[in-house]
Amino acid sequence: MSFSSFFANLIIPLNLCVTLLVIAVVLLMLGRRRIAAALIALSVAWGLFWSLPASTLWAGGRLEQLYPYTPPSELPAAQAIVVLGGNTAGGRLNWFQPYDREKALTRTDSAAILYKAERAPLILLSGAALEGSQSEAEFMASALRRDGVPSEALLLEKKSFTTYENALYSAPILKERNISRVLLVTSALHMPRAMAVFSKQGLTPIAAPSAPQIVVPNDPDFSFWLPDERTFFAARSIIKEYAGLLVYWLRGWI
């Protein structure tokens, strides 16, 4: 496991809370009660912060709004559409509501809409095999063919496991075809890191994020300040993005 992955996994709410509590127990056994009490308080505070919808809306919403959603018809034309792998089968419309398969909008759905709106003549799909033998690029290509996108319009990059590798391995494929101006498709939350990485590779990406997911739901019973289990576990994606931005900046990737 890379340092960036280890760091991101460590500070995920549940993982960090448990780690701090384990360290606190050890310190209590060693008689270091003040430090143990401080770690227990920090664990509770960290868990409580990320279980509140208000915290998620503030921290995640800031990232999503850096590149606001624009309808496909209003986006400029480009030479290609680049779709990044990562939860491509997801597409939850709102983080605070249960997943509805019938209403889900995936990244490949967004790419198909852009292609049919004639925003670009090619689609590059980027992502290695996370499980089994089929890469995410191949999985996304199958989905796009079912949506009516012809095979000749699809380019596949099947080696990348990270956002950095998405850009690193996609750039040569695009540059071989003299393509630099691309519509970049990923989640709104992931877009700031993706845009920075692709720009660093000498490309000219145009943000084409999926619609924001971290928004106040149309639910009269929704509470900003009531701790919520779904919010607590979904916060890992927000923390991963902030950790990724920090690590990528330190490594000179953005």
Q: Where are the domains of the chain?
A: 3-63+228-250, 69-207
Instruction: Give the confidence band of 87 by pLDDT, cuts at 50, 70, 90.
Output: low
Q: What is the mean pLDDT of residues 105-119?
A: 91
CA 184 to chain centre: 13
Please tell me what DSSP assigns to residue 184. Answer: E
The one-letter amino acid at 15:
N
The distance in angstroms from the start CA to the end CA of the chain is 21
Per-residue confidence band for 96, with pLDDT thresholds at 50, 70 and 90? confident
Mean pLDDT confidence for 40-59: 93
Give residue 235's pLDDT. 87
Q: Assign 153 a pLDDT band (cuts: 50, 70, 90).
A: very high
Q: Which residues pair with 126 in a beta bridge?
A: 84, 157
Stretch 61-75: mean pLDDT: 91
Q: Strand ranges (DSSP E) for 32-134?
A: 80-84, 123-126
Confidence of residue 73 (pLDDT cuts 50, 70, 90): confident
91-105, 154-168, 176-190, 195-209: least confidently modelled range: 91-105
Are 197 and 251 a contacting pair, CB within 8 Å?
A: no
More confident residue, 199 or 107: 199
Q: Above 60 in pLDDT, residue 20?
A: yes
Cα–Cα distances (Å) from 184 to 21, 188, 247, in that order, read 41, 11, 21
| Nearest alpha carbon to residue 191 among 118, 95, 82, 37 | 82
Mean pLDDT of 208-234: 88
40/19 Cα distance (integer angstroms): 10
Q: Are 169 and 157 in contact (CB under 8 A)?
A: yes
- The per-residue pLDDT for 7 is 67
What's the confidence (pLDDT) of residue 48?
93
**Does the pLDDT value for residue 4 go beyond 70?**
no
d(CA 25, CA 37): 9
Q: Categorize the per-residue pLDDT at 190 as very low, low, confident or very high, splitting at 50, 70 and 90.
A: very high
pLDDT score for 221: 86
Residues 6 or more apart in contact with residue 98 via CB below 8 angstroms? none
Alpha-carbon gap, residue 62 to 77, rounded angstroms = 27
Residue whose structure tokens are 């950095």:
164
Pairing of strands 204-207, 154-157: unpaired
| pLDDT band, residue 112 (cuts 50/70/90) | very high
**The CATH number of the domain covering residues in 69-207:** 3.40.50.620
User: By the 8 A CB rule, do 64 and 183 touch?
Assistant: no
Residue 175 confidence class, pLDDT cut points 50, 70, 90: very high
Closest of 85, 67, 106, 55 to residue 234, by C-alpha: 55
pTM assigned to the model: 0.88
Report pLDDT for 3: 62
Average pLDDT score, the chain: 89
The average pLDDT across 105-123 equals 92
